[in-house]
Structure 1
Amino acid sequence: MKMETNNSSSSSFSITSKDLPCEIIEEILLQLPVKSLLRFKCVSKSWLNLISDHKFIKSHLHQSTKQHPHHDEISDTHLMLSSTSLIHSLHLQLSNTTVSANSQEEEEEAPAATDAVELESIVEYPVTSTLRRPAAKDIKIVGSCNGLLCLVLDSQHMIIYNPSTRLVREVPNPEETVVGKDYFYGFGYDSRNDDCKIVRATSSSREGNFVTQFDIFTLRTNAWRTKTKTLPFYFMSSVVGTLLNGALHWAVRRGINITPADGDGHDPRTFGIVSFDLTEETYKEVPLPCDGDKQFAYYGLGVLGGRLSMLHSPHGSGYQVWVMKEYGVKASWSVYTTIPQKMEDSKEYIGLMSLLCVLKNGEILMMLHNHKKAVLYNPGQRKFRTIFNGEIGSSQLALYLESLVSPKTYAPSSSPYIPAT
């Protein structure tokens, strides 16, 4: 690092990194984005050691988390999207009060003011040759935490991937995996044990009752465990678990052994929301808004402004976006906005959605699963804008935080650790 300063007499002096205390250099580097830090590893051996140090990586992650707090509306965000065998990185950045999104094909026609959103195709599949496996025909994103993504390849194989550093780690397959069976995934961080966990759930029916089993993979042990307790509910869709407050949330349908409310605390509705605490590895039901609506129709869970959100369509009159202002408190549910059932100039219903975040200008970022699109919805104008169209295959989308965290960070020394090619 070198700085030159000219004074009025044209004399100059330079300041190099040798002139600055190590603490100041570290504090400066902690403010920089991941891409810059990866380049600066080449500056010197001491910078390489510092930027690669586990303590520095953890401090940088903490600094990035402070700059992007979950409870605030955000002005920019990073997304990872999958479309068939492709994965894409999307940086959505707010410019003044207007958000525009243009694919690479549209950039030539776009006015200069629309360059706030960048869509970059990363790779067709980052580790095909390294893993000695044919290119994946389908890549499903099942969660993101601490800058790491959990991906399921061809509905069978799992990897942990850092899209910023391109480092990859394979996850061993669970012992019992049935091809064609519906599995429901989630990925998150266990703060007490400083560990990341993958949760896989599968549901079945026994004697007229729904039964759900959880399989849990911890990165530090590099092993799967099965929660033997059967749970009386059925997962309603293949949408991945929504991560909030250290717990994964899924929409479920209750079994017939759950009785109507008669003073025992049970909700009479067949639909419910279940949370799975990643630290305690226990589940509980999250109370639904309203009372007595037995036809409560579910269309998607999400996190808006750091609060749990869900979609409800009362009497087919549009999708109400409900937000739980105080987590776990039923009375704190309130309607945030209403989304029309159909997109403009379209006869097709929107269908299943995932709500991802609220931008600072009030637009809601969401994934339309039936249409395989990522869109921005403007509540004031009641208009949608497509920012990514998956076109074919099963599109998936997840927010992620750029970080230096390695997949090997939460792993025993014997775990496979593979740099992506």
Structure 2
Amino acid sequence: MSESNPTNAYFPDEIISDILSRLPVKTLLQFTSVSKHWRSIISDTHFIKSHLKKAETLSTHHRILVPVSPLLSLNYNVSPYNTNSSVQLDCPFIKPLNTVKILGSCNGLVCLIDGRKEITVYNPSTRRHFKPLQISQVVDFSNESNQIEFVYGFGYSSNPINPKVFRFPRFARDSESMVYDFIDTVGTFLNGSIHWLARYSNNNSKHRVVASFSVKKETFSDLSVPPQEPLLPYYALSVLKGRLSALCDGRSYTDMEVWLMMEYGVVNSWSKLFKIPLGNGIGFMRPLSCVNEDEIVLEIDLQSYAIYNAKTNRFKGVKSVQNLKWFGDAVVYVESLLSPEISCVLY
């Protein structure tokens, strides 16, 4: 294809666009140099949305972002011994030896905060980043030096290319009478809302609820956790198979149970997906993503990753990362061409 003849004599643009939308981001970035016409197709907003929609349905376009220094991207769809299974990301916006915490992942964009309370929205696939603001240290109104604790969320209401960053005090009021005491510091985004495990701080109940914040309405509401025994705590929320997921101890404390809310917002629709054994020295695990109907990607003891097969009851290693426990939880992100320049809202 020559620059003098940008149109293709054999394929209409619709077919070219459909073919390109199935390719990984790395290849598409290389293809922007083929011609001005291809660059125009790949940078078009409609194409970016189409590519994202296809990528979300393919586990081969999903990767794990590990908050070590430098950031590490893991491909859990290949052998851990494959040289392409992990890639160190050169992030000049992260200062050397600075700790980084991931605040959420949304449509291929990842929200990060460092030890200086500086927020960055980053696209690991395109390597583009944007710093929407710097959060200064916030001190309460007393004369004491205690700093206010915050929880964070990252998501969008209706436009997937315009996500927002939210920050709340750990004790966030949902009405005039009830106040949430957040258990999670990072929210889970699904269906236009951000979700945290929480309990009510102004009563004696230890019962946990899911605090759901609507990005569009900017209001809180409650979702119930699965109908388990009250003394069995819920440790983590995630999104699996496009549904809200909750992790809890099994009744015998020798396994972990993964539950799915099959119909969003309907308490009676909670269904147990997997029961995963805690043997072989495993102390804690957290589900990250489903590979297929029988396999789930797990973060184990904050420093390694494995795929658990429910049919064979076996673990398959993906990658071990030393000293990850000092940095925090990893997230799964989808390969995307989305720009990281977004808005930020603080509360």
TM-score, normalised via structure 1 length:
0.69
**What displacement does 1:23 show?**
3.8
Secondary structure, in 3 states, of the residue corresponding to 1:27? helix
Aligned to 1:78: 63
Matches within 5 A, 1:6-405: 17-65=8-56, 67-68=57-58, 74=59, 77-83=62-68, 85-93=69-77, 101-102=79-80, 107=81, 115=82, 118-123=84-89, 125-128=90-93, 134-154=95-115, 156-174=117-135, 177=138, 182-191=149-158, 195-203=162-170, 211-212=171-172, 232-238=179-185, 240-257=186-203, 269-290=206-227, 293-313=229-249, 314=251, 316-340=253-277, 342-344=278-280, 346=281, 350-351=283-284, 353-360=285-292, 362-368=294-300, 370-392=301-323, 393-405=326-338
Displacement after TM superposition at 1:229 (Å): 7.5
Q: Is the 8 A contact 1:320 1:338 kept in 2?
A: yes
Partner-residue secondary structure (3-state), 1:28: helix
> For 2:202, what is the secondary structure of its paired residue?
coil
What SS does the corresponding residue of 1:289 show, helix, strand or coil? coil
SS at structure 2 position matched to 1:165: coil
Unaligned runs of 5+ in 1: 3-15, 69-73, 94-99, 108-114, 204-210, 214-226, 259-267, 413-421
CA displacement at 1:143 relative to structure 2: 1.2
Does structure 2 conserve the Cα–Cα contact (< 8 Å) formed by 1:193 and 1:279? no
**5+ long unaligned stretches in structure 2:** 140-145
Aligned equivalents of 2:23, 2:60: Cα separation in 1: 18
Question: Over the residues paired in the alignment, what is the CA RMSD in angstroms?
Answer: 3.1
1:9-53 deviation per Cα after TM superposition (whole angstroms, max 9, x unaligned): xxxxxxx93454444433333333222221111112222233223
Paired AA for residue 163 in structure 2: C
Q: Distance in 1 between the 2:235 and 2:207 partners?
A: 14
Q: Which amino acid aligns with 1:324?
A: M
- Paired residues of 1:373 and 1:395 also in contact (CA < 8 A): no
- Cα distance in 2 for residues equivalent to 1:397 and 1:51: 29
How far apart are the structure 1 equivalents of 2:295 and 2:147? 37
Any conservation in 1 of the 2:161–2:338 contact (CA below 8 Å)?
no
Q: Is the 8 A contact 2:117 2:136 kept in 1?
A: no
Matches of 1:254 and 1:232 in 2, distance apart?
6
CA contact (8 A) 2:61 2:335 kept: no
> Aligned pair count?
331
1:185-231 deviation per Cα after TM superposition (whole angstroms, max 9, x unaligned): 2211221585211122332xxxxxxx326xxxxxxxxxxxxx99795
Judge conservation of contact 1:34–1:164 (CA < 8 Å) in 2.
yes
CA distance in structure 1 between the aligned counterparts of 2:270 and 2:13, rounded to whole angstroms: 49
Q: Is the 8 A contact 1:160 1:407 kept in 2?
A: yes
Q: 1:134 offset after TM fit, Å?
A: 3.5
Is the 1:212–1:231 contact (alpha carbons within 8 Å) kept by the matching residues of 2?
A: no
Return the alpha-carbon distance in structure 2 between the equivalents of residues 399 and 80 of structure 1: 6
Kindly indicate whether the alpha-carbon contact (under 8 Å) linking 2:123 and 2:339 is maintained by their aligned counterparts in 1: yes
Q: Taking structure 1 as reference, are residues 388 and 183 closer, same or farther at Cα in structure 2, changes over 3 Å only?
A: farther
Q: Which amino acid aligns with 1:173?
A: Q
* Cα distance change, pair 45–248 in 1 and its aligned pair in 2 (3 A): same
Distance in 1 between residues matched to 2:334 and 2:160, nearest whole Å = 21
Q: Structure 2 counterpart of 1:397, which letter?
A: A
2:143 is aligned to none
Paired residue secondary structure (1:365): strand
SS of 2:71's equivalent? strand
* Distance in 2 of aligned mates of 1:39 and 1:154: 34
Distance 1:33 1:330, change over 3 A: same
Work out whether residues 211 and 222 of structure 2, in 8 Å CA contact, stay in contact via their aligned partners in 1.
Answer: yes
Letter of the 1:91 counterpart: N
